[in-house]
Every structure is written in structure tokens, then in C-alpha cells.
Amino acid sequence: MGEFDRYLDLYLAEAQEHLGTLNQGLLALESGGGGEAVDAAFRAAHTVKGMAAMMGHDTVAVVAHRLEDRLDQVRSGRAEVSPELIDELLAGVDELARAIDQAVAGGGDGGADAATDASAAAAAEEEAGAELRIPEGTELVVRVLLVPDAPLKSARAHVVCRSAAAVCPLLGTWPETIEEDFGGEFWLFVGAGADESRLAESIRAGGEVALVEIRPVEEVAGGGGAHDADRAGESVDTADAEAATQPEAPARAAGAPESRPTDARTGVAGGDLRSGAAHVRVSREQLIDLADGMGDLAILARQLERAAESASPGLRSIVEQIGRRVRELQGTVLGMRMVPAGSVFDRLPRVVRDTARSLGKEVDFRLEGRDIELDREILEELLDAVIHILRNAIDHGIESRERRLAAGKPPRGQLVLRVIRERSSVLLEIEDDGRGVDRAKVHARARALGLLVPPSPEEMTDEDILRLLSQPGFSTAEQVSTVSGRGVGMDVVVTRIRALGGGVSLQTVEGRGTTFRLRMPITLALVQALRVRVGEEDYVVPITHVTEALDLGQVRITRKAEREFIRHRGKQLPVVRMRAVLGTPSEGEEAAAIVTELGDRRAALAVDKLVGREQIIVKSFDAAVGTLKIFSGAALLSDGRPALVLDPISVL
Amino acid sequence: MGRTVLICDDAIFMRSMIADILKQAGFEVVGEAETGAEAVARYRELKPDLVTMDIVMPDMGGIDAVRQIMAEDPNAKVLMCSAMGQQALVIEAIQAGARDFVVKPFQPSRVLEAVQRVLG
């Protein structure tokens, strides 16, 4: 791993952002967004082009350039906005995304496309290099990038220049005077007679150098494209051989330095990394690691506090301070994982549009509450589930234009995703105004599969429908379409949401539409839970699944047929004895019960006793084959012991 | 390695810290100086392989000391020790002949890398 990889991460992260901007801009344009939308998309394409050129990713630069050109035509009114044009531009964005992936995965890019489109490369270069002043007699142009966290970059550049000057005739630099706030990239202009490998070596000897790239002057000054490929390839030298970009293809679209000052900051040399910046980028893995580590520390701190209860006041006070500080830090770290829903869900409008177009449906999609913050991990995990529900809605829910008009509905289907912040959770509502779930069909299908159903379709509740739809292999679509028939099924969606400590509910009215509600914890790492004992073991139940806790000593359990009930709030509540479910016999009567509900289905789960409330850290859980479905995960308790997480809804 | 070093800094704390880092890397600290003038005099007397030089010192500053030392011995290898925000002074020192620089607070690895570059 070299310093170069750090640039790559930054580059990739920024490029993804710009791709998002492009997608949004184009969708806004399609729905009449006009000037601002095009401008934003145009700028994004332009920036990606500059960044790619700097990274030596020729194909990316060329694709971005084409996109930019086309957007410029739209901007100036030379191209007319039509669904076909948007299709074409979106395809261009996809091509750009693929090119970036390939370039990053391959550590460089082959530039094959670039060679076939030398004019675009040349244009990109010409534009960028228009005002570059190269001193007379320059033979080699050397691009030097300092590592992003090098202190005093301008002083470092002076050391590097002096080191280079010792082995070659150094005619000048760009920028001519390297100012204090320069971004970390500079160019050296070298006269005749320099030994390239010695030159590269001496530049590196200057210290804190991430990248050295030596090219013959005519490649930078000329039109690009007509140069000797071998030469350009062999003199590329990066911080680490394994991180090196692939040898460049002839038509390098690398711009000359004129366009650098801005690009160097926004693109690679790391505006975000400059001292004084308000934000820094952190890798996701590190953040997860940090959050997990803080969680473990918080648990250790609690244990420490307990162990120190009988210690001297001095020691106890220190231990308490440590505990407080650890918990504060844990809050800070968890806060760092919070991102606005939009940062992940902003790709949904594109998904909806593509799905709708491929199915010949007309759909207006709205995303509300994109500023509501959620744990990034939860958001990412939810994305597939939400996409699945949206696709289902477009495929099976929303009717064709003709049918809608016949039903007296507006011609375009309305699809909304609302992100709503609740007190201790976040609610995601996915609502369509389509035909609703066909109860008769679901009923017939369930019967055919031998599933337990109420006697008639009319008696099926929304919860019954959700339960049936979430059965593996249950699909009422007569033909599995390429859209919603692909990927995960509703069963996987529901299981995943439960595993994250969330819940799903459904509301559907035939002819009127369907609404899915996903209630999620705000953060994955810490979940409020109730700790209960059954037999010898303690288990935890996320608070989101618990409606109420009951003292069984105060109520009478009645028997009807084979089932047990208690009377609660004027209703009969079925009792499920967890000892039986978990297969752990125990002495005496159960002392408590927790009430859980899913829609209007409720049950009281009898447990030996309630131990108390806990903040648990849910760890990922790969259930062994044959494990009871009631376990949705594993968690660490505050005394450091592991416990299984119960999903009470699974017994309903 | 047994290479010799002269450490110039007006703070004892900084001197001992630099000394610790360099001793661990096998250097022999042959002298210390608290002012620029003292640095010049001790260099003349000790001819060390390496000099670490603070920028701001009483009496004569580090940059002037570098100029004098370089005037007397163009092969002198001086490593500047600077604080963040002294960029212009560091550049001046480099133009005066200092080989490289490190920035406070010191990270031992960065100091040793710089030393390696200076002694090349």
C-alpha cells in the first residue's frame, strides 16, 4: 500500500459524489428542472474530467469530456431535452461510472477508448493547457505530487526542487513561485541531458513525494495523441511499484497544469486534507472499527465501574471519570456514523426512473426527509430492501396510464419515500397509489402452497398479507418480470430489516395503493433492549419490539382449547411460554411477560423474569443452519457477557 | 553507526527529545547549543556529521547560523526544526543551505526519515 492509494480513495469518493450529482441533475432536467440542473451536471462532468486527467485515467477523462460536451449543448439550447436525450445522458453517466470502476480496479486505465477518440482527448488537453508557459529549451516535464499530509508543502517543494536541480538543468517550475497555500502538486521544467531515472530518484530524495511523472515536453505542449507510447509509459514512476498506474496509452488526456489549482484542491491533492478544513474523509472500515471499539470499551468501562464499587474513593472517582469520558466519546463516534438519508437514497430517483421506463409505466417519485440522519450502515443495509419494495410497487402496484385514467386516477403513478424521524427510531414510509395487493390472488396462492390462512380473502388482515408475502418463494406475479423478479425476495427484505433491529408493516387497500412502513433504530451500534431470563440464560429483546412489560403475578392465565390467554386492557391476549419456545425447562411459574404487537396481532411472551433495561451492541450474526428463527442476532451485555437477541414478532 | 550530531535549540526539552530520537538511531550527541552564535562556534569546534537547528533562538537565529556555517563549510548538513506556521522561514533556511526540515511536534519516524535524506 502506498501513498498513491490514499489519492485513489479520495478520487473514488469524490467521483462517486459527482456521479450522484450528475444523476440527480439529469433527473431534475427531465422533470423540467432547467438551467440550474444542467449547470450542476455540467460542472460535475467537468470536475470528473479534470480529476481523471490528473490521475491518468484517460478513458474516464474522455467519457467525461463527451458527457460535458453534450451537456454544454443542452445548456446552450443546441440540444433539446427529451426522454431519449436523458436516456442517452444517463447511459453516459453509467459508462462513466464503469470507466471509473475499471480505472480504479485496474490501478490505471488502458486508455483504449481514448486512443480511438483522440480528438476528445486533445480537446480536453487543449482546454486545460491553454495558458501554460513552458520555458525555452524544456525537454522533460515532471509532475510531482506531495503526500497529502506532508507538513509545510511549499518548503517541501523547495527541498524537492533543489534536490532535482542537483542532477539536472532545472529551467523553471509551475507554479512559478510556490506559494504557502499551494495544494501539493507542482511541475518542473527540465532542460536537455537529464537522466530520467536519476531525476526521479533525486526528486524522491527530496522527501514526502507521492508521485513523480516524467514526460517529454511535446506531449504536454502539443496536441496529445501523436506520441510515442513507449516513451510515455516507461517514465511513469509512482510512490510504490504495485500502486503504479498502468503504462499510459498514447493519447494521454492529462491536462497541462493550468487547470490544476482548483482541481488539485477539489480532486486529488486533497482540499479536505488541508489543515483548517472543516471535514476530513475517513474510511468506512476505520469508522466501523472505531465504533465497535468504543462499544467494547464502554462495556469494559461499565465492568470496571462495577468492580471498583468497593474500591477507595480516589480510585472510584477516576474509574467514574473514565466511564463518563468513554460514554461521551462513544456518543461522538456514533454521531460520526450518522449521515443524511439523502446521501444513500439520492440514487433512488434514478432507480425508479429506469424501472418505470423499462416497464412502460409513468411514475412520479418523491423522496421526503432526505436530511434526516441515520447510521450509515443501516442506510446501506436498507438500500436493497427499499429498492426491492420500490420496484415491486412500480411493477405490481402502479397501473398503466390507460387503467389509471379508467379508474379515475391521475395518469402518472405517485410513489413516495418518506423518511420520518421519531423519538427513538426512524420511520421509512414507501407509499404508492397503485392497485393495492390483490387479496383474492394472495389467498389462492397461499392455499395452493398449503399455508395457514383465514377462511376467506376478506378476512385476511394486512399483517396476514405481509406474513404471506414474506414466505420464501411466495410470489403472485403471473410472470416473474425482469424487474421485480430479480434479486432478493420479500422474505429476505423482512428478515434483513428484523436483523437490523427494525420492523416492517404493510397497509394495502385494493384499488387505492399500498404503503410499507419500516421502523428502524437510528443507530445500529447501540440498541435499547430489555434483558429477560428464561431458564439459565439471559436474552435481550430490542425495545422497538416491546409494547409493554407485564407482571404475571397480577393476572390470571385462562385456557381455551389448547391455548392460553390473559385478559389485558379488555382483550384476550394469547400467551406464549418462552420456556417452551426455547426448549429450556425451569422450576416454578414465570413471573413476567413482554407484550409484542405487529399491527393488530399481539401476544404476551412469558419469561422467568425481567432483568432490566440494557443498551446492547448488536453484532453481526450468521445463524447456523437449523437455528431457531426467533434469534435475530447476538449482542454483548453491559457485563460483557454475550447474549442472543430475540425477535418476538417471529412467534406471532 | 556512530555518526555525530550537534543539537541546537534554546529549549532543553526539545534538545533532549531530539537527542533521544537520534540516540536510538545510533547517533552520538557530541554537543548542544542554545543560541545561534553558540551553534556556529560549536560546529567549528566539533565538525559533526549532522546539525539540527531550531529557527528561533536568542542572540543569533537559526537561519543566520545556517548561513555562517555554510559559509565556513559548504558540505555542512543541517536539518531545520520548525514549528507549523514558520513556512517562510523554513524556505529561507533552505535557500541559505539547510538540507531538510522537520516540523514540531516531532514524530520520531519523520525525524529519522529526514535525517536519512540529509545524510543520504
Q: Range of B13's domain? A: 4-106
pLDDT at residue number A254: 37
pLDDT in tens, A502-542: 888 899 998 999 999 998 877 765 667 889 999 888 898 88
Query: Do the beta carbons of residue A77 and residue A99 sit within 8 Å?
Result: no
User: Alpha helices of A451-523 — where are they, by DSSP H?
Assistant: 462-469, 490-499
Q: Which helix or strand (DSSP H or E) is residue A403 part of? A: helix A401-406
Domain count, chain B: 1
Whether A180 and B117 lie within 8 Å, measured CB to CB: no
Query: Do the beta carbons of residue A338 and residue A524 sit within 8 Å?
Result: no
Place of cell 505542449: A221
Look at residue B111 and tell me if it is in a domain.
no
Record: fold of A340-521: Heat Shock Protein 90 (3.30.565)
Q: List the single residue in B with minimal CA-CA distance to A275.
A: B84
pLDDT in tens, B13-59: 788 889 999 998 899 999 999 999 999 999 999 999 999 999 888 77
Look at residue B116 and tell me if it is in a domain.
no
Look at residue B119 and tell me if it is in a domain.
no
Look at residue B11 and tell me if it is in a domain.
yes
pLDDT at residue number A623: 53
Using the Cβ of B55 and the Cβ atoms of chain A, whether some distance falls under 8 Å is answered with no
CA dist list (Å): A88 to A26, A82, A95:
10, 10, 10
Look at residue B115 and tell me if it is in a domain.
no
pLDDT at residue number A524: 64
Using the Cβ of B1 and the Cβ atoms of chain A, whether some distance falls under 8 Å is answered with no
Percent of chain B exceeding pLDDT 90 equals 57
Q: List the single residue in A with minimal CA-CA distance to B104.
A: A151
From the CB of residue A367, how many other CB atoms can be counted at a distance below 10 Å? 17
Whether B84 and A151 lie within 8 Å, measured CB to CB: yes
Whether A154 and B91 lie within 8 Å, measured CB to CB: yes
Using the Cβ of A159 and the Cβ atoms of chain B, whether some distance falls under 8 Å is answered with yes
pLDDT at residue number A405: 92
Q: Where exactly are the structural domains of chain A? A: 3-126, 132-273, 284-336, 340-521, 527-651
Query: Do the beta carbons of residue A579 and residue A533 sit within 8 Å?
Result: no
Q: Pick the residue of A3, A146, A147, A152 with the most B CBs within 10 A to test the interface with B by mutation.
A: A152
C-alpha span between A602 and A652 (Å, rounded): 7
Look at residue B17 and tell me if it is in a domain.
yes
ipTM of the complex: 0.88
Using the Cβ of A151 and the Cβ atoms of chain B, whether some distance falls under 8 Å is answered with yes
pLDDT at residue number A113: 41
> Which residues of B fall within a CB distance of 8 Å from A158?
91, 94-95
Q: Which residues of chain A have pLDDT under 50?
A: 1-4, 108-131, 223-277, 478-487
- Comparing CA positions, the residue from A23, A7, A10 lying closest to residue A365 is A23
> Which residues of A fall within a CB distance of 8 Å from B82?
152, 155
Record: fold of A132-273: Alpha-Beta Plaits (3.30.70)
pLDDT at residue number B82: 84
pLDDT at residue number A68: 87
From the CB of residue A451, how many other CB atoms can be counted at a distance below 10 Å? 15
C-alpha span between A58 and A49 (Å, rounded): 9
Class of domain A3-126: mainly alpha
- Comparing CA positions, the residue from A203, A82, A102 lying closest to residue A146 is A203
Class of domain A527-651: mainly beta
State whether residue A131 is helix, strand or coil: coil
- Comparing CA positions, the residue from A386, A413, A417 lying closest to residue A398 is A413
Left if phi > 0, otherwise alpha if psi is -120 to 50, otherwise beta: which for A436?
left
Query: Do the beta carbons of residue A207 and residue A227 sit within 8 Å?
Result: no
Q: CATH number for the domain including B13?
A: 3.40.50.2300
Provide DSSP, chain B. ---EEEEE-S-HHHHHHHHHHHHHTT-EEEEEESSHHHHHHHHHHH--SEEEEES--SSS-HHHHHHHHHHH-TT--EEEEEETT-HHHHHHHHHHT--EEEEESP-HHHHHHHHHHHH-
State whether residue A566 is helix, strand or coil: strand
